[in-house]
Amino acid sequence: MTLKKRILSLVLIDSIIVLTSIYVSNFLLLPTNNPFTLLLLVSSIVLLCSHHTFAAMYKLYKRVWQYASMNELYAIFLAVTLSVGVTAIAQILLIQDVTFRTLTITWMMHIILIGGSRFAWRMYRDTYLPHQRTGKRTLIIGAGNAGTMIARQLKQSNEGELEPVGFVDDDIHKQQLEILGVPVLGNVKEIEELVKDHDIENIVIAIPSLNQRALNEIFLECSKTKAKTQILPRIEDLMLGNVSVNHFRDVEVEDLLGREPVELDVDGIAEYITKRTILVTGAGGSIGSEVCRQVARFTPKEIILLGHGENSIYSIEMELRRNLPDLVISTEIADVQDREKIFKIMNTRQPHVVFHAAAHKHVPLMERNPEEAVKNNIIGTRNVAEAASDAKVNTFVMISTDKAVNPTSVMGATKRIAEMIIQHMDMVSKTRFVAVRFGNVLGSRGSVIPLFKDQIKSGGPVTVTDPEMVRYFMTIPEASRLVLQAGSLAQGGEVFVLDMGEPVKIVDLARNLIKLSGYTEDEIPIKFTGMRPGEKMFEELLGKDEVHAEQVYPSIYRGKTPLVNINVTFDLVERFQGMSREMLRQELLDIANFRTRELRILSVVK
């Protein structure tokens, strides 16, 4: 039905109700041989006109009555009361008489009939249509405002795929009660039993205030069942209108870190980024591109995207231009190993801040190609750092890794040596040089998540090196925020790390991802393959000699690393191409772990 036809239908129904109300009330209280008196005629015309006027004013003809609530009832009350009031005034002015008893009954019948006509469809839907539903039997976790709102929408939606069967809530005062006709069946610890007893096919977690640790605990209970587990949309998506409250999303691995993400010190970051020229190396990578997105939020004067791969640089450039058309963006296709070009770019562009994200980071590949790790991670870092110093850059932030602590791999060793270069540059340059160490970044290129997803998509098995192997994990946005925060905290020479909570077993991550993908371990098995060259059973964020107990910002620590003779590193750079791969690998590990005599002596002297 079109809006015009709908309004005309409601106007016609209301007109019949108005005339019926006033005629019946007059007939009951003022019986006469001539029912069509002047008083009745005037009252009917005034009441009819005033009703339609106030009905239009309170939008009674444009409300969706199938979702009627107390607000709609209040609007009916106001419209009817005001129209009857206007009728009483008209009787006094035009007839010099007023029939209070008649108007009172008219008012009562008016409200009952108007309200009844509007709520009849709502009552019909709530009473009869739910029995016709064939949606998946759904258990809602959380019987608060969000859970109630979800239950109402699911019950009212004929086209929905989900049928609310019950609530789960730990509040003992809600146990065994009903909300909108849906019973509160039990608490979180009883989820597995409730799913079996009530043939639940779908679970919706509806607690917006839930922290990640509590979510992890609830998901652990849900994972014991075969029901699909979903969660409310993110609050920011709801506020932006991207989704509605009943557009549930799947629980993601990022939701199960077991700790709250680090928030930014917006003022501190804005102070050194807003209206400044910012250069990001490796801008097309998973971390570098997210750094660009985060930087763009602070309206820099210009952001320079530097990278070796043209496709990835093009991709992030187009994304930023599409989302932020007023942002000034420049691109530079360059290899950080090209010293001459890097110096030329730095001196021409004159950035205020450099975020150095370009690096080789895949552990097994760098074990097989140590010379490439030297070229990119060591020589490339030295080129960018010295170019930044020469161009008088204010702040230089290098992205490192927890694998740089007591490294056992070529990748970790080259990143530790890159940290040494940064610390050396901080001592000899006016530029502030700092490094930021990450744990494993969920979803980044080379991380286990894309590998696990591909293996699950192919039918398995999911390969895990060892059942006891653990890692620290963080999200890509979280990692990028830490980079920006480090720049605002930098005094020079620090290594910043994030308090990443408890490490996560890789096998638990694999199990969660299998469950989140809608499978069981019987369908997608896990296969243990043994540790690969260069891997450690666990990672550390700071070495014993680096630890500072105090936090410099909530959940962020500053490491203190020993001073070293950088000439040992530079000597290796000069002669590495003449070495065998095994010799180069050992030399890198010796330098990174301070196992050379020159490094030990200088550490004591300094």
Beta-sheet strands, E only, within 93-132: none
Give the whole-angstrom CA distance, residue 204 versus residue 183: 15
Give the whole-angstrom CA distance, residue 546 versus residue 541: 10
Give the helix/strand (H/E) hosting 508: helix 506-516
> What size, in residues, is the chain?
606
Give the whole-angstrom CA distance, residue 233 versus residue 215: 14
Give me the sign of the Cα torsion angle 239, 241, 246, 251.
negative
Question: In 10 A of CB 400, how many CB atoms?
Answer: 25
Give the whole-angstrom CA distance, residue 315 versus residue 302: 18
Task: Tell me how far apart the terminal alpha carbons of the chain are, to the nearest angstrom.
Answer: 85
Give the whole-angstrom CA distance, residue 331 versus residue 306: 6
DSSP state letters, 344-411: HHHHHH--SEEEE------HHHHHH-HHHHIIIIIIHHHHHHHHHHHTT-SEEEEEEEGGGSS--SHH
Give the whole-angstrom CA distance, residue 362 versus residue 149: 46
- Whether residue 422 contacts residue 434, with contact meaning beta carbons closer than 8 Å, is answered with yes
> Which residues are designated catalytic?
403
Cβ neighbours of residue 311 closer than 8 Å, sequence gap 6 or more: 284
Cβ neighbours of residue 14 closer than 8 Å, sequence gap 6 or more: 51, 52, 55, 60, 114, 117
Question: In 10 A of CB 16, how many CB atoms?
Answer: 12
